[in-house]
Structure 1
Amino acid sequence: MTKTLHIDFVSDVVCPWCVVGLGGLQTALDALKAEGIGADIHFQPFELNPQMPPEGENIVEHIGRKYGSTPEQSAANRAMITERAAEAMPGFEMRMGPDSRIWNTFDAHRLLHWAGTVGAAEQRALKAALFATHFTDGKRLTDAGVLADAAAAAGLDRDKAVEVLADDLHAAEVRAAEELWRARGINAVPAVVVEGKYLISGGQPAAVFEEALRKIAAGG
């Protein structure tokens, strides 16, 4: 008999640790299949930089302003996260460099919400496509055409994606979800909430997710 866990994966598409966390979570779930443990994953919105203007900001300048990091510290951190992402999500290529930019992600979250209304698999595919659009291809996440292309790459209807973006659809739903998770105490991502009450924070290795999910599935 399969135990299916409800998992809310609270994250932002410009968060590199969210790539690490999602990779670790998926690896853990793949390992747990043999034990009859599965999950329905729902991607929830979180904006790391909700006030970011449409033109974005250079990553080195952004990290320096936000965290006080030097360019050298920023480069070392990018190298470390790139290595972790490659380990956590084999085949995923993270190409962050000193000329990379951080973007406003509200429209990306609107598109993810819409994808979730189509289906869980479609939302998961779009999440992966958006990660690739940002971290691998370095494309502008505030460009409606870029976002629509990501939707098409995920197997979604590109014309419908264009409509969602042009008409400001799902803006209220995304804002409400963001407020809900903040009210529940989520102030950093990735945050993996299992069964609405168990929190696994950060870009954890697969072994950490596997142990926690096994315990939760057994009744806590």
Structure 2
Amino acid sequence: MTHDAQALQIDIVSDVVCPWCLIGYRQLATALAAAGTPHEIRWHPFELNPDMPPEGQNLREHLAEKYGTTPAQSEENRQRITALGAELGFTFHFSDDLRMHNTFNAHQLLHWADQHDRQHALAQALFAAHFTDHRDLSDPAMLADMAATVGLDRDEAGAVLADQRFAPAVREAERHWQAQGIQAVPAIIFNHRYLVSGAQGVDNYTRILEQLAKQPE
């Protein structure tokens, strides 16, 4: 990927089954558009559930087991996330049968897509596949289909997942960001120096962009 030296470099450490990663990105994108800030975004791997088995797990059961979330808390969170998504032009479609899946294959595909300048488009497609369409992000065939929708070669996508050629690189990237102290996502790094954690809201991102614009080159 070529880099524009004048553009704001934005690295987003995230998982494609993390609703706050999508909300945080969309809030940031809204602020970037309003400010007219030239920018380049790269997505980096973080697995919320690296030990998730292939069959996945019901989302409510998963949240209860991992965080102790009650059904009432889960419903409240879903309503809040759905409303925030709607404000940002994204449809969260929660249901009782929504499942959490292992995302290691998805991260490998995103790593490959970065080499073809399609990583950002694929990340957006995968967020929608999971949260809007309830697709299985651990399924290689589905992932290859999603790659094709953003202009990547479906057969090559399938081969990438079949031989797991990028598995070591993705594991190394995950370890790198964990070694930087990132234990929760989204984590957004501006110009390789300034870390912002969590979905901050459009107003806060606007202020952050204003502060960054005042920084010396």
Q: Does 1:24 align with 2:27?
A: yes
1:135-150 → structure 2 map (5 Å cutoff): 135-150=131-146
Q: Does 1:175 align with 2:171?
A: yes
1:101-120 → structure 2 map (5 Å cutoff): 101-119=99-117
Gapped runs of 5+ residues in structure 1? none
Contact 1:151 1:158 in 2 (8 A): yes
Contact 1:3 1:217 in 2 (8 A): no
Matching residue of 1:49:
49
1:1-220 → structure 2 map (5 Å cutoff): 3-33=6-36, 37-88=37-88, 90=89, 92-119=90-117, 122-219=118-215
Gapped runs of 5+ residues in structure 2? none
SS in structure 1 opposite 2:54?
Answer: coil
Q: Hey, what's the Cα distance between the residues in 2 that align with 1:184 and 1:62?
A: 27
1:217 positional shift: 2.5
Runs of 4+ with deviation above 4 angstroms: none
What is the letter of the counterpart of residue 150 of structure 1?
M
SS in structure 1 opposite 2:13?
Answer: strand
SS in structure 1 opposite 2:189?
Answer: strand
CA deviation map 1:139-188 (0-9, x unaligned): 11111111011111112111111111111021111111100100001111
1:77 positional shift: 0.8
SS in structure 1 opposite 2:175?
Answer: helix
1:3 positional shift: 3.9
SS in structure 2 opposite 1:118?
Answer: coil
CA deviation map 1:88-120 (0-9, x unaligned): 3x1x2111222110000000000000000111x
What is the letter of the counterpart of residue 42 of structure 2?
H
1:209 positional shift: 1.2
The percent of aligned pairs where both chains have the same amino acid is: 50
Question: TM-score normalised to the size of structure 2?
Answer: 0.94
* CA RMSD in angstroms, aligned pairs only: 1.3
What is the letter of the counterpart of residue 98 of structure 1?
D
Contact 1:19 1:131 in 2 (8 A): yes
Question: TM-score normalised to the size of structure 1?
Answer: 0.93
SS in structure 2 opposite 1:26?
Answer: helix
Q: Hey, what's the Cα distance between the residues in 2 that align with 1:82 and 1:21?
A: 13
Q: Hey, what's the Cα distance between the residues in 2 that align with 1:157 and 1:206?
A: 35
